[in-house]
Amino acid sequence: MACPSYSRGLTELVRGILRLFTIQLLALLVIACSLPGRGAVSSGTTLTVAVLDVGQALAVAAVTADGHALLYDAGNSREDATQVILPFFRSHRIDRLDYLVLSHPDQDHVGGMPAVLEGISVSTYVDPVLPSTNRAYGETLRLVRDLRIRPLRAERGLVLELGAHVRAKILWPERPFILNADGEVSDNDNCVVLLLEHGAVRMLLPGDLETRGEAALVAREAEQLRAAILVVGHHGSRTSSSELFLSAVQPEVAIISVGKNNAYGHPHEATVRRLRAAGARIYRTDVHGTVVVTSDGERYTLNTQGERS
């Protein structure tokens, strides 16, 4: 258990960095919102998206054939970054990320961020800016500041361009934030929800979004949620992937990032039943290893790497 003085010091440090970070984000958000919109995404290049096998955590890497790249979350630890995430990008000859996106500052999503920032060049860091005293999150914000990486506050309606043919639409969060019963901001229900679009191929990344966040998102973006590929929310927790949400998404494929024999019982059997009832083919990183989706803008293929017996 951390001593009280250490916890207070860390809290004050993170709050101070967040204040500076928020000022930078607000200025950049004005610029981002003034950029002209774009028309329909054209096909014609390859998009590779990998739900990486980082155990009971999440890291999703996207790489285009013309060298653009995005990482959504960075696993639980420095080892996840150095042994899984960075080697994936090196294998695709990527030495710079257009975007490093943090869904929310829970350890199993932010734990590998510092090592990623140290191991590869990053153009833009995207963050919903949720209150947190997580140590890895504080280190992440320090590195973003010290490396002079462009910070961008994630908000519903922003679009991240990955070259000429791929875009990532931020569907969530929006303000005011959803609060827990105790009046605190909910990490899970305010996490970044990302929709990757490559021509007709769409892939939805809802982070750890739970039932209340799903309902709020469906109420605002029901027409935008349909996607052939779903990275299942909250590692297959029973508090995510509601019937309402799955009815809007209508996934053909559901990919669950989950650790083998994890202590949480993920994925929950009720969630698996809902996914099957929705007609989705289910893949799990604890069974299939890293799951790779390849799109040409019209259709997609799916392969597994390191399938386990």
CA distance 208 to 233: 5
Q: With b meaning 16 or more CB within 10 Å and e meaning fewer, what string describes 122-136?
A: bebbbbbbbebbbbb
| Structure tokens that stand for 295 in this block | 């799109």
CA distance 276 to 288: 18
| Structure tokens that stand for 158 in this block | 């922003």
* pLDDT band at residue 299 under the 50/70/90 scheme: very high
What the chain holds in terms of domains, given with CATH numbers, is 44-303 (3.60.15.10)
Q: What is the mean pLDDT of the chain?
A: 89
The pLDDT tens digits for 279-290 are: 999 999 999 999
Q: Are the beta carbons of 255 and 229 closer than 8 angstroms?
A: yes
pLDDT of residue 307: 60
| Structure tokens that stand for 257 in this block | 């990032």
Q: How many residues does the chain have?
A: 309
pLDDT of residue 18: 53
Query: If you ran DSSP here, which 8-state letter would residue 85 be given?
Result: I
Q: How close are the terminal C-alpha atoms of the chain, in Å?
A: 38
Inform me whether the pLDDT recorded for 37 exceeds 60: no
The pLDDT tens digits for 207-254 are: 999 999 999 999 999 989 999 999 999 999 999 999 999 999 999 999
Pick the more confident residue, 100 or 9. 100
Average pLDDT over every residue of 99-121: 98
The pLDDT tens digits for 169-185 are: 999 999 999 999 999 99
Inform me whether the pLDDT recorded for 27 exceeds 60: no
